[in-house]
Structure 1
C-alpha cells in the first residue's frame, strides 16, 4: 500500500509542477486548472482504490475542485458519501484517507457521512449547500453519487438559495471596506472579485441552467459581448490569484504590499516613466473587478427575476417611454437609447427624482449601457444633455448614487474625457487609499451627507453651514473637479482650473458661480495646509489666509470642501483634533473677514486678560500672576490658543519653578493632550517624543516652547492607535503620566535612546522620497523654518529632534502633521551658525539619513 501511495504522491507532484511550468510559459489559467485538476483526480483515484477498495462509498469533488477551478494553494474540497451512517471501520478509512491527503500537502476540506446526514448539513448551511451545488463524481459508487446529487437538487429551495447568496454577497462587500481592503484587496472576495463571478454562476446553476457561458448565451441570459467581458475578467483575476499562490508559496488571496511587485513581475509588467509595475498590476485588477460589477448589475437581477417571487408584480406607466415594475424603471422600447441618445440622461433624471424607483430593469440597463458606449463630443454638445447633467447636481438628492452609477458604467469618463484619465488612477503618497475617481466620489458623498438632515448629527457645525449655503450644487461640482487633473504631472490644482472653467461655461453657470467653482478647485488645499502646517494662533497667519480667501462665502465653501476632502481621503486622517484645527481656523478667519482685525499686541493682551480673569476668579494673588507672566514671556501668548493658555496657567500659576506634567482627554475622543513643564536641557523634546512612541501613541501635533526663564513648556496631542480594540483609557493615561513624572524628575533611564522605529509594509514597498526645506526667516538673523516630508514611523519625531540637538540647534516651535503613513512637519529653529552653508549641508545630510531609515 505504501508503495502505491508513494507513487501517487510523486506522480501528483511531478504533474503539478509540469502544470505550473506550462502556466508560467503560456499564462493560460484555464489550461492550468484542467491539467492540475486531472492530476488530482488521478491521484485521488489511486488512493481510493488502496484505501476504500470494495467499499460501497463514493467520492465527490465539491466547491472549487468540483467547479474545476483549483488554484495552486487552494483547499481540496471533497465529500465521502455512504448510503448509511459510516461504520467504525469506514470512519477509520476516512481518517486514513484524510491523513494521507495532508501528507501530500493538499489541505483537504472533507465532509463525510451518509446521504441523509450530508443533505441535512446542506439544508442547515448555505455554504455547504453551495459546495454541493458544484459537486461531481470522482470515484467509488456511481449509484450513491447520483442519489446524493439528486437529493441535494430536489431539496434545494431555489428562491431561498438565491436570496441567501445575494445577502451573502452584500455582507461580503460590506466587509471589504477600510484602507486594508482597498490597498491590499482580496482577489477572491473583494467587490467584483472571483467570488462575485461564482455567485452569478451559482444563481444560474441553482435554477437548473448549465453554467457554461455558451449555454447562458443561448438561453438569452448573457450576450456574446458580455460573455467575452466576463471571461476576460475571470481570466485576469484567475491569473493574479494563481501568481499570488505561486509567489507566496501558499494559499494567499490578498494582494498584499509584500507580494504586489513580485506578482507584477510574474505577469511581465515593468516600470516605466508613468507607472511602476505594482501600479499597473492594481489597475489591471481594478479594471477586471469593475467589469464584473458592471455585469453584476445586469445578470444578477435577470437571474433573480427568473425565479418566482412571493411579491406581486406591480406595473405602473410612467410616460410614453417608460414604465415601473416593482422598484425598477424599464423602457418600453429596448432600442430607445440607441435611437434617442438624450434618453441616456433622461432615465437617470427620472431615477434620481423618484424615491420609489431604486434601479434600472436589467434588459433596459443592457440597452442603456450599450448606447452609452457611443457617447461622443456631439452628445456632450447637445444642450439637452448638458441641462440634464447639471440638473443631477442641482437636484442634489440621490446624487451620490447617480455619480457612482455613471462612473461604474463608464459614462462619466465618456461625457467628461478628463474624468476618464483618473479612473483607477492610484496615488502612492502614503495617505490616499482610494483610486482618484473613488476618492472624488467619496468627497462628493461626504458633501451630500452634510446637506442631509439624517446625517446632521455626524458633524453638526459643518452641517449647519451647509444648510445655510445657497449654492450647494457648486460645492458638489467642486468636489467633482477638485482632483480631476491628478496624474498629469505638475500642480493638479492649477491644471484643474481650465477643466472647471470650461465645464462651467458649457453648463450655463453664471460668471459668479464659475468664479467660485474655479477658485475652490485652485485652492482646495489652502485651508488644510494652513491649519496643519502653520501657526494659526498667529494673527499674521490669519491675515495672510484671509487675504487669499477674501469673502465669507468663499471661506464657508472652502471649509466644507476641506472637511469633505479629508474625510474622503482615508478614514485614519479625520479625528477630533483635526476637526478642531479647521474649526478654529474658520472662526478666526470669519472674525477677521468681519472686520475684527487685531495686531499681535492686541491679541496677546486679549488672551492674557482672559487668563487674568480666570485666575482672579479662583482668588489667585496678583503677585503670583505677575510672576507667571514674567516666566512665560510675551511670545507665549502669540504661540498658544486660548484654551491651551487657560489650561496651562491654571496648572502653572502656583509654582513656576517646579517641573510638572498634565494630561487630559479632548472631549469625546481618543485624543490625549499632554503638557510637560521642566527646566530646559539638551534632547528633552526628543526624549519626550520617544516616550510617546514607546507607549504606541501617534503624535498628531506638538508644540515646543521655551519660556523666558528657560523652562520648556511642550504640548503634545497624541492619539491612541486603532490597534487598541478595547482601550482602557484610564490605565493608558495613568501609565503615561507615571512615566512622564519619572522623566521630569530625572528617574528615567536613557538606555533606549537609539531606538528607531520600523516602517509599515506599505511604506517599505511603496515609498515616497523624503523632502527637506530649510529657509531663513526674513528680518530675524539666526532664525530658520525647517519643513520635512517623510514616511511616518515610530520614533521619527524623536530621531529628528536628536539630530537638531546634536547639531546644537535650538528647537523653538514644532508643528507636526501626521497623515496616516506620511508626515509633513514644520519647525522653527534658532541657530546662528546655520548661516554657514557647510553647516546647513551637514544638517540636511543628517536629517536625510534619519528620514530614509
Structure 2
C-alpha cells in the first residue's frame, strides 16, 4: 500500500478557481486549460524519449493536483471548513502510474456508512464527479466508509487487491490513516491464503490465454506473459509475504539479485513507455500491440532502421527481451514464495527410469534434488566445459528441471559455447542422442533456448530469437513457432485421439528422428537471412549446419528434402485442383518415395499446428489427407496403374450410385457419368454423386416448365467432421451466376474455402463450393440458407447489381493503415507454368467482403472462364488461386491480355479499404 502523508498542493494557476472568484463556467474553463497545458507538456516529454514510468507518474501527479483543487474549490463553495472525507487513489492510479488512456480509480473514503451520509457530503461527492466527467475523464469510483472497505476487502479478493494499492490524493488525512491501520490489521494480517490463491489463479488464467509464452505475434502489454500485470503481481505478493511493497527490499532479503532488480525495473519502464505510445496514438486505452501498431511504436521510438519491417523487428526484439526477463523473474519469485511452480510442458509417456524415487543423486559434477539439477560446485564448467551439453542430456533422461543456481551458472559460462565447442565430436554425439529420444525433445530444447544455450550452439537458430514474423497467420515469433512445432511432434507419442492416429503411426515409423527434429529446428531459419524466399535461406543454413555436424548421406538428403519442401504440401493441398491427375503426378515427382511423402505430411502437420492453436482445422485436414492418399497410390502403383485405378474407382462408383438411386434414375445416372469430367468423381462418395444427379434433374425440370428463364438448382451437403458444408449449384454456363453467387454468400458472412466448377458436355455446369462460418463450422442454420437463396434469386433477377447494396463491410484488423504500419504483402501473379491446361492467377491481398466477387467479375469482363478456384483466408489475408481459360478451354497465350489482366488484378486488390 502506498502512503502519502500530505495532500497534493493545488497549482497556483488554479487559485482563482479555488477561491471562488470565478463563475462555474469560468472555473470549468480554467480546470480544462490547466489539464490541456499539463497533458501537452507531458506528451512533449514522451516524444523527447522520457521513460515510461516517468510519464505515467507525471500524469498521475497532474491529476492529483486537479482533484485536490476541485475538492478544495467545492468545499469552499459549500462553506465547509475541513474535508469530511478522503479522496483515495486505487488501482494503477494508486500506484502513482496513470497511462494516457487509463481510467481514474477513486475511492471516496467516508466518515460514516455510505447509506447514512448527510446531504452535504452526498452533494460534495456528486459535484466532484460531475466536474471530472464534464472534463471527459473516465472515473471508476466507490463511496465507502472504513468499515465498508474492510467488509468488501474480506469478502472479495479483487477488492482486497485494489485496496493494496491506495494513496491519499486529497482530503482528510486522519481518516485515511485510520483506514490504513485497520486494513493492515484486519485484512493483510488475516486473509493471506485466499489472496495468494487468487494470485495463483490469475497467473494461470492469464498465462493460459497467452499459451504460456511471451512470444506472441500480437501481445497484450498488460495481460500477456511478461506484461505489466506480472510486475504488479510481484508487488502484491511481496506486500503480503514480506510486509513491504518496495521491490528493492527483495534484494535486501536476497530473494532476487541486483541484476534481476535492474532487469525487472527496465522491463517495467519499457512496457509503460510502449503502453503510453499505444494510448497516445489510438487516443484510447489500447493494450494489444497489433502488427500495424508495432510499426507505429517502432517509428515513434525512433528506431534507426530504414525500412518499417526492420524497425519493427528491432523494436519487437527489445519488447520480447524485456517481457522474457519479466516472465522468467516473475516465475522465479513466485516459486520462491511458493505461489506457483514453473509451467512444465512434457509428454505423458516417459522412460520408467525417470520415475525413480531418489530424493538426492550425485553424478558428473551435478546434484539432483527434488526434481531439479544443481551444480556440485561453482567450478564444474571450468573443470569440463563440455558438461554444458551433457547437462541437458541429464535433465532429459532423469526428467529434471534447471535450478535457479544452475541457470545463473550457465549464463556465466556462455562464452564457453564457442566455435571449438560447436565442432567437437563428443558434443555433436550428445546433441544427437538428445534429438533421438522421440517424444522427449521439446522440453529439453526449451530449456536450452530459455537459458541462451541453444542459439549459441546452433547460431542458425539463434538468429531467430525474438524475430517477429510478417505472415499474418502466424501467432508466434519465429523461435517460438519452431519450438511449438517440436512440441506438436512430441505430443503425438501419447495422443489418444483416433483422428491423429495416422500422424502417430508416421512418427512411430520414422527411423531417423534426429533428421526430423533437426529439419524442424532449421525449417524457418532463413527468415533471419533477409532473402526474398525464406526457404532458400533455410536451405543454405541447413547445408552449413549439416557440414558442421558431419551429417552425410541419406540423413542429409532427408533434412534437405524437408527444409526445401516444408511449404510444398500445404501449398499444393490448399491451392491446386487435387482431382486433376496431373497435379498428383507433379507432386509425386517432388516426393519421389512414399517415405518422403509420409515424413513431409507429418512435418506439415507439426508446422501447421505450430503457427496458431486453431491453424489445423477439418477443411485443411481433408485436403491434406486427399493429397496424401492420391500421391501415395501414385508412388506405389505408378502412373499407369494409378490412372487405371481411377477408372476402376469410377466404374465402382457408378455401381454404388445405381444401387443407391431408384431404377427410374438409371438414364440420368448414365448420362451424368458420360457427360461429366472425370475429375468431378474423384474422391467422391455415392451419396454426393446422387446429389449431383438430382440437382441436374431438378434444373432440367425447371427449364422444361418454362417458368424460370434463369433456371438453377441448389443443394446443401453438411460435412460436420470436416468443418464445412458443400454447396452444389447446377446451372447453365452463365458467368454472372458465379459473381452473384459469391455476392449472396458474402451477404451472409459465409466464408468460401474452395470452389470447383465442372462443365458437362451438354452445357450444364456443376459449381461445388465448400463453405463455412467464420468459425470453420458447417452452414447448418436454415434461416441463413433461406436468406442466402432469397438474396441470390434477387441478384439473378437484377440487371445491374451493386454488391455494396448487399454487403456489410467487416472491420478488418489491418484497417487504418498509415506509413508507420506494416504493409500487407499484396500481389497478383499470372502464370502459364503451374498447370498443363489452365492459366493460374495467384492472389494475396487484404481480405474484404466481395473480393471474390470482384475477382470473378474481372475474369468475366475479359471474356474468360474460371474452371477451378482454391480460396483460402488466413487472419484477414486472402490467398486465392484461380484457374482460368479462354472460351475454348485453352490457356491464355496473348501476352498483352496477360499483362492487362495482371494490371487489373493488382489494381483491384490494392484498392483501399473503405468503411
TM-score clears 0.5: yes
Q: Secondary structure of the residue that 1:712 maps to in structure 2?
A: strand
Instruction: Tell me if the contact between 1:447 and 1:475 (Cα under 8 Å) persists in the aligned partners.
Output: no
Cross-structure match for 2:507 = 466
Cross-structure match for 2:709 = none
Q: Secondary structure of the residue that 1:514 maps to in structure 2?
A: helix
Instruction: State the distance in 2 between where 1:323 and 1:776 align.
Output: 62
> Is residue 588 of structure 1 aligned with residue 630 of structure 2?
yes
Instruction: State the distance in 2 between where 1:706 and 1:747 align.
Output: 23
Q: How many pairs were matched up?
A: 836
Q: Secondary structure of the residue that 2:717 maps to in structure 1?
A: strand
Q: Secondary structure of the residue that 2:242 maps to in structure 1?
A: coil
Cross-structure match for 1:88 = 117
Instruction: Tell me if the contact between 1:770 and 1:791 (Cα under 8 Å) persists in the aligned partners.
Output: no
- Shift of residue 69, structure 1, vs aligned partner: 1.4
- Shift of residue 827, structure 1, vs aligned partner: 0.7
Map 1:48-127; keep pairs closer than 5 Å: 48-51=71-74, 53-82=81-110, 84-86=112-114, 87-89=116-118, 90-127=121-158
- Shift of residue 808, structure 1, vs aligned partner: 0.8
- Judging changes above 3 Å, is the alpha-carbon distance between structure 1 residues 353 and 573 closer, same or farther for their aligned structure 2 residues? same
> Is residue 481 of structure 1 aligned with residue 522 of structure 2?
yes
Instruction: Tell me if the contact between 2:725 and 2:779 (Cα under 8 Å) persists in the aligned partners.
Output: no
Q: Secondary structure of the residue that 1:499 maps to in structure 2?
A: helix
Map 1:408-807; keep pairs closer than 5 Å: 408-454=450-496, 456-457=497-498, 459-488=500-529, 489-504=531-546, 506-507=548-549, 511-571=553-613, 573-595=615-637, 597-598=639-640, 602=644, 605-617=647-659, 618-620=661-663, 622-632=666-676, 636-638=677-679, 640-643=681-684, 647-652=688-693, 655=697, 657-658=700-701, 659-722=712-775, 729-736=781-788, 742=793, 751-753=801-803, 760-762=812-814, 765=817, 766-775=823-832, 784-807=839-862
Instruction: State the distance in 2 between where 1:163 and 1:378 align.
Output: 49
Q: Secondary structure of the residue that 2:436 maps to in structure 1?
A: helix
Cross-structure match for 2:11 = none
CA deviations on 1:460-488 (whole Å, 9 max, x unpaired) are 33223323333344322222111111131
- Judging changes above 3 Å, is the alpha-carbon distance between structure 1 residues 298 and 72 closer, same or farther for their aligned structure 2 residues? same
1:223 pairs with one of 254, 257, 266: 257
Cross-structure match for 1:846 = 904
CA deviations on 1:327-378 (whole Å, 9 max, x unpaired) are 54444435545665444444433333345x5x43334433334434653223
Instruction: State the distance in 2 between where 1:107 and 1:759 align.
Output: 26
- Judging changes above 3 Å, is the alpha-carbon distance between structure 1 residues 109 and 346 closer, same or farther for their aligned structure 2 residues? farther
Q: Secondary structure of the residue that 2:141 maps to in structure 1?
A: strand
CA deviations on 1:314-337 (whole Å, 9 max, x unpaired) are 992121554455454444435545
- Judging changes above 3 Å, is the alpha-carbon distance between structure 1 residues 183 and 752 closer, same or farther for their aligned structure 2 residues? farther
Instruction: Tell me if the contact between 1:704 and 1:712 (Cα under 8 Å) persists in the aligned partners.
Output: yes
Instruction: State the distance in 1 between where 2:585 and 2:575 align.
Output: 16
Instruction: State the distance in 2 between where 1:26 and 1:850 align.
Output: 41
Which stretches in structure 1 are left out of the alignment for 5+ residues? Answer: 308-313
- Judging changes above 3 Å, is the alpha-carbon distance between structure 1 residues 8 and 805 closer, same or farther for their aligned structure 2 residues? closer
- Shift of residue 442, structure 1, vs aligned partner: 2.0
- Judging changes above 3 Å, is the alpha-carbon distance between structure 1 residues 162 and 600 closer, same or farther for their aligned structure 2 residues? closer
Instruction: State the distance in 2 between where 1:452 and 1:665 align.
Output: 31
Instruction: State the distance in 1 between where 2:340 and 2:591 align.
Output: 58
Instruction: State the distance in 2 between where 1:153 and 1:384 align.
Output: 59
Cross-structure match for 1:310 = none
- Judging changes above 3 Å, is the alpha-carbon distance between structure 1 residues 601 and 652 closer, same or farther for their aligned structure 2 residues? same
Instruction: Tell me if the contact between 2:99 and 2:279 (Cα under 8 Å) persists in the aligned partners.
Output: yes
Q: Secondary structure of the residue that 1:595 maps to in structure 2?
A: helix
- Shift of residue 836, structure 1, vs aligned partner: 3.4
Instruction: State the distance in 1 between where 2:624 and 2:304 align.
Output: 42
Instruction: State the distance in 2 between where 1:406 and 1:252 align.
Output: 35
Q: Secondary structure of the residue that 1:822 maps to in structure 2?
A: strand
CA deviations on 1:630-674 (whole Å, 9 max, x unpaired) are 432xxx113542316762345416837344221111142430111
- Shift of residue 244, structure 1, vs aligned partner: 1.4
Instruction: Tell me if the contact between 2:103 and 2:137 (Cα under 8 Å) persists in the aligned partners.
Output: yes
Instruction: State the distance in 2 between where 1:490 and 1:264 align.
Output: 23
Cross-structure match for 2:353 = none
Bigger mean CA deviation after superposition, 20-29 or 512-521: 20-29
Instruction: State the distance in 2 between where 1:719 and 1:315 align.
Output: 54
Bigger mean CA deviation after superposition, 815-824 or 578-587: 815-824
Instruction: Tell me if the contact between 1:317 and 1:324 (Cα under 8 Å) persists in the aligned partners.
Output: yes
Cross-structure match for 1:837 = 895
1:808 pairs with one of 857, 863, 869: 863
Map 1:352-371; keep pairs closer than 5 Å: 352-355=396-399, 357=400, 359-371=401-413
Instruction: State the distance in 1 between where 2:646 and 2:142 align.
Output: 77
> Is residue 317 of structure 1 aligned with residue 360 of structure 2?
yes
2:195 pairs with one of 161, 164, 169: 161
Cross-structure match for 2:287 = 253
Instruction: State the distance in 1 between where 2:700 and 2:768 align.
Output: 18
Q: Secondary structure of the residue that 1:675 maps to in structure 2?
A: strand
- Judging changes above 3 Å, is the alpha-carbon distance between structure 1 residues 606 and 701 closer, same or farther for their aligned structure 2 residues? same
Bigger mean CA deviation after superposition, 681-690 or 464-473: 464-473
Q: Secondary structure of the residue that 1:275 maps to in structure 2?
A: helix
Instruction: State the distance in 1 between where 2:397 and 2:474 align.
Output: 33
- Judging changes above 3 Å, is the alpha-carbon distance between structure 1 residues 41 and 828 closer, same or farther for their aligned structure 2 residues? closer
- Judging changes above 3 Å, is the alpha-carbon distance between structure 1 residues 352 and 105 closer, same or farther for their aligned structure 2 residues? farther
Instruction: Tell me if the contact between 2:866 and 2:882 (Cα under 8 Å) persists in the aligned partners.
Output: no
TM-score normalised by structure 1 residue count: 0.89
- Shift of residue 242, structure 1, vs aligned partner: 0.9
Instruction: Tell me if the contact between 2:718 and 2:725 (Cα under 8 Å) persists in the aligned partners.
Output: yes
Which stretches in structure 2 are left out of the alignment for 5+ residues? Answer: 1-17, 76-80, 342-356, 702-711, 818-822
Instruction: State the distance in 2 between where 1:16 and 1:786 align.
Output: 52
Instruction: Tell me if the contact between 2:516 and 2:559 (Cα under 8 Å) persists in the aligned partners.
Output: yes
